[in-house]
């Protein structure tokens, strides 16, 4: 009998549904903590797919309405950076 393929929740950081559920089973239901432990939402897509999936897993496992599972806080750069720096057209001072 072959083992089931893991369900990938965060493709950017290769986090599985099993990993998320294990954290919730350990009592970790704060999405900010789950984000720090697994790096969900920190990849190139910035959580466009995985954050809503993790919210729904938390809601299902805790019995809370999904509206009561807040999304993690967005963090903006500490220092503004000109777009030309990102494009490689300017050098940051």
Alpha carbon 59 to its chain centroid, in Å, reads 15
- Is 66 contained in some domain? yes
Domain count, the chain: 1
- Is 52 contained in some domain? yes
- Is 93 contained in some domain? no
Range of the domain at 73: 8-87
- Distance in angstroms (rounded) separating the CA atoms of residues 74 and 38: 16
33-84: pLDDT as tens digits: 999 999 999 888 889 999 999 999 999 999 999 999 999 887 776 777 788 8
- Is 1 contained in some domain? no
Q: How many residues does the chain have?
A: 93
- Is 3 contained in some domain? no
49 burial level (CB within 10 Å; 0-12, 13-18, 19+):
middle
Assign residue 44 the CATH number of its domain: 1.10.10.1100
- Per-residue confidence at 1, pLDDT binned at 50, 70, 90? very low
């Amino acid at each position: 009998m072959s083992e089931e393929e893991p369900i990938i929740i965060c493709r950017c950081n290769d986090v599985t549904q099993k990993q998320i559920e294990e954290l919730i089973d350990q009592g970790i239901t704060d999405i900010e903590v789950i984000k720090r432990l697994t790096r969900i939402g920190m990849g190139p897509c910035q959580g466009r797919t995985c954050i809503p999936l993790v919210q729904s897993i938390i809601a299902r496992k805790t019995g809370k309405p999904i509206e009561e599972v807040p999304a993690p806080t967005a963090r903006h750069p500490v220092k503004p950076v000109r777009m030309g720096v990102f494009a490689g057209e300017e050098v940051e001072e």
